[in-house]
Amino acid sequence: MSYRACKTCNKKVTESTGKGYWCARCQKDEESFTLRYVFSTKFSDATGEAWFSIFHEQAEILLGCSADELAKMKSQEETTNFLCQLKKAKWVSFLFRICVARTEYKNVKRQNSAANNCATSQHLIETSGEQQLLKCLCNSSKTLTEMATQVDRNAATRISQMIANVRSFNQTHGKPPALALVTVGNKKWFESYISLLKNRCTEVGIRFLHVELAGEVPKAQCVARVRDLNQDPDIQDISVQLPLPDTAK
């Protein structure tokens, strides 16, 4: 779960032939080292599960202690504290930014996935720009373009282009494009999002259709409803709100 790292550059050190630990990057011996996390673990959400690499800073947030502290717990004769510390990270909600890269080693291609920018679930808004955007979205007195301009002028340009595309579609087909949102179950936190989505669709000229399914609806019925929407020529886009209840997965 961890490796011996140089206190200066954080690169891996090896035991020196003399005394101390050798850092190849710093090209010198160090008297001591620090432990840094690096390991793989499995995460899951409403869409499935996957394995990701976790590095030091994110691992400290996950486990709630440093690698040195965890190693000290593990070295004790009684490992109860060590196991309890690991269990604290199980079934806890976190938010990550996932970085995926394709690499090739000895003519073998593989995909590396790492979880970055770990935060607990209550820290949904990560950047000041996102905080500003959320505040703008809650202010219904401003148009979508005005809100986007306040946060990002490039976003305002994209929204203006989207409005022009919607008008072009309307002129060509004699009707506006339509978005169907499918929700399963009556979850209170859906309500504000649905209301916001409906208002913004109306503002840019998109027809909004909310399809509500009961929380105990079986998977077959949910799939059949989405297929019906997919065959409807008046519907151009379909969105299914996650997470779904177990019966509909």
Q: Kindly report, residue by residue over 150-201, the tens digit of the pLDDT.
A: 555 566 677 788 888 889 988 999 999 999 999 888 766 677 778 888 888 8
- The gap between the terminal CA atoms of the chain, to the nearest Å, is 34
Which neighbouring-strand residues pair with 28? Answer: 23
Domain boundaries, the chain: 2-120, 127-174, 176-244
Q: What is the dihedral of CA 25, 26, 32, 35, to 10 degrees?
A: -40
| pLDDT score of 36 more than 90 | yes
**pLDDT value at residue 122:** 46
Question: 10, 24 in Cβ contact below 8 A?
Answer: no
What confidence tens digit (pLDDT) does each residue in 218-246 have?
A: 888 889 999 999 999 999 999 888 777 77
Q: Is the pTM of this model over 0.75?
A: no
For 81, phi then psi, to 5°, come to -65, -40
| Domain 176-244: CATH architecture, name and number where available | 3-Layer(aba) Sandwich (3.40)
What percentage of the chain has pLDDT greater than the value 90?
Answer: 21
In the predicted model, what is the mean pLDDT of the chain?
80
Residue 68: is its pLDDT beyond 60?
Answer: yes
Is residue 123 pLDDT above 90, yes or no?
no
In 3D space, the residue among 198, 239, 244 whose CA is nearest the CA of residue 221 turns out to be 244
CA distance 131 to 149: 14
Q: What's the pLDDT score for residue 130? A: 45
Domain 2-120: homologous superfamily in CATH: Nucleic acid-binding proteins (2.40.50.140)
